């Protein structure tokens, strides 16, 4: 257990200045005067305290692609980005479709100890889309899986999707759908639009996402289940989810930082760092996502952190892998696109990056209030510490960031998991010197 820590004069949720006293893994007090004598003190002036961030959509690559990322390097990158919990997607090798694999991932996460790693279970065996995996076994394993997804692939068979939505009710689970109609996206390389036509790259039309979302919200309504939509990327998808919510359908949706900031224009240089699935869309879509996040249609921001080694990105576009890393840039991009534009407050950021993702994933120890007696999962943000993204300067094992050279207005400067600092900025190194963390 880490030494007691006092953070003085920090702005909780960007509002009230307060102190935070972290003792024995809990928030012990909001008054520095209550701190134990041996507590280490840091000055929180100018900083915003948020409940530890929760990523509902992370690719940690282990087991199978440890050349791209490991649970250790991914956890380190997550902590640096302000996260205290991540949900590790199931498209590993072997696939996380059995209790054995999800327990392996969870236990490796515990050993590393930098973030709580919640394995996501595959909906279908081997992500093949033909047979349900043993979701009950994964739910009842020590990993206690609650989120199920074939992410990377769409559960496109409507009957199988219906069964999955029904079945996860057994253990209060949720199916997180990668909405991509496979026939409409065969060979697709980027958003289908004017830019793809000009570049001669096969298009990924918006309707391939929207048609699956429309189907799945109707299925969720029909069977009375909740459904979560991964990486919403189009204006039409926002409209469909808005309509579904107005009907009372239990749908939640996530947007990715890269879809809030970048457009298909980025593909013009054929640099595969901008190749991602679903693809970067148009400015109109970016604007719709921001509006959807502002009005609550989109519930959360998740990273879709997708590490790939150099050889899968330093090549021609058509040969390159889809995906980009994003754990360390997510918070800064949310601030840039949503907070500094006046669309969201820091209180809202706590909701979209911590409370709601924790609630969707049923992570009971995360997304809790910053209040006495609660787990000391805390992220300190310096909203005035502007920085320029350098892809090579990441804690991830891969450096396939599309944000190189972009200036972000702020970042996480310290992350605490149950009172233990898991990442601290240079200014706070006194916190970790001689500590057991």
Partner 1 sequence: MKHLLGTDGLSREDAVLILDTAGQMAATQEREIRKLPTLRGRTVVNLFFEDSTRTRISFEAAAKRLSADVINFSAKGSSLSKGESLKDTALTLQAMGADAVVVRHWASGAAQRLAESGWLHGSVSVLNAGDGTHQHPTQALLDAFTMRRHLMGAAVGDDVTGKGLDGLTVALVGDILHSRVAGSNIALLRTLGANVVVVAPPTLLPYGLEERGEVAVHYTLDDALEAHDLDAIMMLRVQRERMTGGGSGFFPSPEEYTRLFGLDRARMDRLTDHAIILHPGPMNRGLEISAEAADSPRSVIVEQVSNGVAVRMAALYLLLSGEEASA
Q: Which residues bind partner 1 (CB under 8 A)?
A: 183, 189, 192-194, 196-203, 269-271, 311, 314-319
Shortest Å, Cβ 92 to partner 1: 24
Q: How many CB atoms lie within 10 A of CB 295?
A: 12
Assess contact for 247 and 221: CB atoms under 8 A: yes
Estimate to the nearest angstrom the gap between the alpha carbon of 431 and the chain centroid: 27
Count of Cβ atoms closer than 10 Å to residue 107 Cβ: 15
Classify each residue of 166-193 as buried b or exposed e, where b means 16 or more C-beta atoms within 10 Å of its C-beta.
bbbeebebbbbbbbbbeebbeebbbbbb
Determine contact, residues 176/147, Cβ cutoff 8 Å. Answer: yes
Q: How far from chain centre, in Å, is Cα 361?
A: 11
Task: Between 194 and 393, name the residue whose CB sits nearer to partner 1.
Answer: 194
Q: Judged by CB, which is closer to partner 1: 133, or 196? A: 196
Positions annotated as catalytic residues are 304
Nearer Cβ to partner 1, position 187 or 248?
A: 187
Token representation of residue 333: 């991009």
Under 8 Å CB-to-CB from 152, ≥6 apart: which residues?
A: 89, 91, 127, 178, 277
Rounded least distance, CB 198 to partner 1, Å: 7
Q: For residue 142, what are the contacts with CB-CB under 8 A and spacing of at least 6?
A: 103, 106, 107
Euclidean distance between CA atoms 295 and 181, whole angstroms: 27
Return the number of the residue (109 or 203) whose C-beta is nearest partner 1. Answer: 203
Note whether 26 and 50 are within 8 A (CB). Answer: no
In the complex, what is the shortest distance from the CB of residue 392 to partner 1, in angstroms, rounded to a whole number?
Answer: 15
Q: How many CB atoms within 10 Å of residue 407?
A: 11
- Provide the 3-class DSSP secondary structure of residue 431: helix
By C-beta, is 197 or 386 nearer to partner 1? 197
Residues 6+ apart with CB under 8 A from 295: 242
């Amino acid at each position: 257990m880490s030494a007691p820590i006092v953070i003085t004069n920090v702005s909780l949720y960007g509002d009230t200045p307060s102190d935070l006293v972290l003792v024995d893994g809990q928030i012990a007090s909001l008054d520095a005067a209550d701190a134990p004598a041996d507590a280490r003190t840091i000055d929180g002036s100018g900083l915003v305290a948020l409940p530890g961030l929760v990523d509902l959509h992370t690719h940690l690559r282990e087991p199978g692609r440890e050349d791209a990322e490991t649970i250790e390097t991914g956890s380190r990158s997550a902590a640096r980005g302000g996260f205290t919990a991540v949900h590790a997607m199931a498209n590993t090798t072997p696939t996380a479709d059995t209790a054995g694999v999800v327990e392996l991932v969870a236990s490796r996460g515990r050993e590393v100890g930098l973030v709580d790693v919640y394995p996501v279970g595959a909906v279908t065996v081997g992500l093949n889309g033909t047979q349900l995996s043993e979701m009950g076994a994964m739910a009842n394993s020590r990993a206690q899986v609650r989120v199920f997804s074939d992410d990377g692939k769409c559960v496109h068979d409507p009957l199988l999707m219906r069964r999955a939505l029904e079945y996860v009710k057994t253990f209060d689970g949720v199916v997180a759908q990668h909405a991509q109609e496979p026939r409409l996206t065969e060979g697709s390389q980027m958003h289908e639009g004017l830019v793809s036509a000009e570049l001669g790259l096969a298009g990924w039309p918006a309707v391939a996402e929207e048609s699956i979302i429309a189907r799945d919200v109707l299925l969720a309504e029909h069977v009375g289940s909740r459904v979560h939509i991964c990486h919403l990327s189009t204006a039409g998808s926002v409209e469909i989810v808005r309509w579904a919510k107005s009907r009372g359908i239990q749908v939640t949706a996530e947007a990715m930082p890269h879809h809030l900031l970048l457009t298909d224009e980025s593909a013009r240089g054929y640099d595969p760092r901008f190749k991602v699935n679903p693809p970067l869309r148009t400015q109109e879509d970016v604007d719709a996502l921001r509006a959807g996040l502002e009005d609550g249609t989109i519930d959360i921001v998740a990273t879709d952190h997708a590490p790939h080694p150099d050889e899968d990105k330093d090549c021609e576009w058509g040969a390159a892998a889809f995906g980009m890393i994003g754990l360390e840039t997510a918070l800064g991009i949310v601030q840039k696109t949503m907070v500094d534009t006046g669309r969201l407050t820091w209180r809202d950021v706590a909701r979209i990056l911590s409370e709601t993702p924790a609630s969707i994933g049923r992570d009971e120890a995360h997304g809790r209030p910053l209040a006495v007696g609660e787990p000391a999962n805390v992220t300190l943000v310096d909203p005035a510490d502007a920085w320029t993204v350098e892809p090579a300067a990441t804690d991830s094992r891969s450096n396939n960031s599309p944000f190189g050279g972009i200036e972000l207005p702020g970042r996480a400067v310290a992350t605490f998991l149950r009172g233990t600092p898991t990442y601290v900025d240079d200014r706070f190194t006194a916190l970790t010197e001689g500590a057991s963390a």
